[in-house]
Structures are given as C-alpha cells and as structure tokens.
Amino acid sequence: MKQFIAFVKKEFYYISRDRRTMLILVGMPIVQIILFGFAISTEVKNVQTGILTSSVDADTRYIIDWIDASEYFTVKHVVHSADELNRLFRRNEIELGVVFSAQLQRQRFDSENIQVIVDATDPNLAVMRGSYAGGVIAGVRVELLQTGMIQPSFVIHNKLLFNPQMRSAYNFVPGVMGLILMLICAMMTSISIVREKETGTMEILLVSPMNPLFVILSKVVPYFMLSILNLTTILLLSVFVLDVPIAGSLASLLGVSLLFIFVSLSLGLLISSITRTQVAAMLASGMVLMIPSIILSGIIFPIESMPGILQGIACLIPVRWYVDLVRKLMIEGVPFGYVWQETAILLIMAVILIGITTRSFKNRLE
C-alpha cells in the first residue's frame, strides 16, 4: 500500500510539473464547455435578407421594417429586379429573399402572393429560415388586422435555391470533405513526425547530409498524396453515388482543395514542432483542432447564431472557409471570381503557418 501511495504521489508530482498536461486537463474542459454552451444553437438569428419589390411605398416599408426589427432577420438589400436578387444569392450576400408582387404596392392585400426564397444548400437551415420568415410575415398580417389599417389576405410561397429536393447530402458532403482532409493532413502528419522524435530516428535523419527541410517534406509528401486520393474518392462518390453534382468549375474546386490540403499540412507540421509525444500530438490535433473545426465551421451549427466573440474565433478556423468554398463552387456553381476572398484568406493562412513552422523547426535544430 505504501508503494502504491508513493507511485500515486509521484504521478501527481509529474503531472503538476508538466504545464502542457495541466493545460489539457484543466484548461481544455473549460474551453470545451464554453464552446458547447454558446456555439451549439439550433436557433435561427441574423439571417441576411434581401427584399425584391418594384417600389417601396408606405405599406411595403411597414412590412420590411417589421422583418428587419425581428432578431431573426437583418435586411441587407432592397432590390428591384430578379437578376439583382439572384446575384446577391450567388455572391452569398444574402441567405433569404422576400419577393413582393407588383400589386402589393396598390395598398390592397387581396389575393396577394409573397414569395420567400431560401438558400437550401443546408436543408435543415432552409426549413427553419423559411418557417421563421413565414411566421414573421404572418405576424405582420395579424398586426395589420388588429390595427385596421387594411384587410390583408395574402399567400406566402416558399422557394428553395440550389437544393430544391432538400437532400441532406448537399449539406454534409462539403463538411465531410473538410474534416477528412484536415484529419489526414494535420493529425496524421503531426503523429508521424512525433513518432520519429520518440524513437530517436528524427535526429538521425536531421544530421544526415540532406537538408532538414527536405527531410521534413519527405515525411509530408505521402500524406499529401493520400489526401489527393481521398479528395478524388470523395468527389467520385459524391457525384456517382450520392448524386451531388459539381455545379461549378472542377478546376477551381480542385485548386482550392489543394490549397486547403497545404494549410492542413502546415498545421500538422506546427503541431509536430511543439509536441514531443504521440499522445500530446493526438490530443492537440483532436481536441484543440478537430473539435473547434466541427463546432465553429458552420458544418452543424450556423455561425450567424453564435455570439460575436465566437464568430471572430470561427474566422481563424481554416475548415470554415473551405466548407464555404466547396458549397459555393460545388453546390451553388458560382464562378471563381465570387470566392476570391475566401481563397485569399486560406492563402494567407498557409503563408503564416508555414512561416511559423519553418522558424520553429529551425530554432529546434539550432
């Protein structure tokens, strides 16, 4: 019993001296509970909304103001042609559109039609957004009836863009692509290099006549090739098995995917440079990298519904930008000119990460 207690004390002393272990044991649960508590929300909030109307008179302005006053919708644009509204959808500047018929401006709501157009690349969100919009407009009708301003009798029609069949595959395929590529590139690369450190063979390789940078790259290339193979497999299964079409340019989709693979590889190298054991690398890749990527990337929970500080943190998650790119290029079929901002962000991330990683490895070698 005394020996057992002595070993228990020794283990406590070891853990208390290891700052990284203490950070994982004490800090990570706090971070995770905050993320789960605030980020996991199925509510619809701050939906970017566009209004299509031939003219904005007092009655139409009343309805627009009512929609904008709701916490669920933010009216960003008021346009006067269907082409303008469609352009806003393709640029992802709006997620929902409300179309008023031409007769609505003649101060009568008799037999009027109001169309709600929803971006259905995420079917679950599309249903909720359409339902919320219908509820808000129905609230306008009740308010007008109570005030006696007019006698409204209008019908709301919903229209789904990009995914009218409401197929869930259109939503999860971009997310799965991002998570698989991140898993293969970041987690496996970091573990592979750390394994060499544990066995002592990494030092042997680094003192060889070959440039250390090429030694590291030689460890990365197999995972880069595996990632390309995975990307090809995912696209083939998506098109021929799940019937998810590639609506946009295949070359653009492959280009941004290779860029994301490079960013993920840089993350894996960075993790390998700051960890010494496979367990630490696994924890860093799984808990610090993968879980925030799932929660804060918009794959499951809408980023617009999160608190502002978490929306800011989500901007630092590479998967978030890649999922947006895949949805726009693959599902919505927009041209590459519409996604240059997301691509530029990933490119900046790649440059920063590879710079930090190279400097970290250089400092360790010196």
Q: Which tokens in the block code for residue 187?
A: 């987690």
Res 111: pLDDT: 39
Inter-residue contact 260 to 324 (CB < 8 Å): no
Res 110: pLDDT: 43
Res 178: pLDDT: 83
Sign of CA dihedral 271, 266, 318, 347: positive
Q: Which segments within 123-174 are labelled E, that is strand?
A: 153-161
Of 114, 118, 111, which is closest to residue 132 (Cα–Cα)? Answer: 118
Res 108: pLDDT: 46
d(CA 289, CA 269): 13
Backbone angles phi, psi at 60, to 5 degrees: -65, -40
User: Would the pTM count as exceeding 0.75?
Assistant: no
Could you give the strand order of the β-sheet that contains 96-100, starting from the edge strand earlier in sequence?
Answer: 73-79, 47-52, 96-100, 110-119, 153-161
Q: Which stretches in the chain have pLDDT values below 70?
A: 1-12, 14-16, 18, 20-43, 59, 102-113, 144-158, 160, 163-169, 201-219, 288, 361-366
* The residue to which tokens 């990337």 are assigned: 297
How far CA 331 is from CA of 109, 144, 246, 316, 324, in Å, comes to 36, 39, 6, 24, 10
Contacts of the segment 72-76: beta carbons below 8 A, 24+ positions apart: 72/44, 72/45, 72/46, 72/47, 72/132, 72/133, 72/136, 73/46, 73/47, 73/49, 73/132, 73/133, 73/136, 74/46, 74/47, 74/48, 74/49, 75/49, 75/50, 75/51, 76/48, 76/49, 76/50
d(CA 360, CA 84): 49
Give the count of alpha carbons within 13 A of 93, CB side only.
Answer: 15
Inter-residue contact 111 to 63 (CB < 8 Å): no
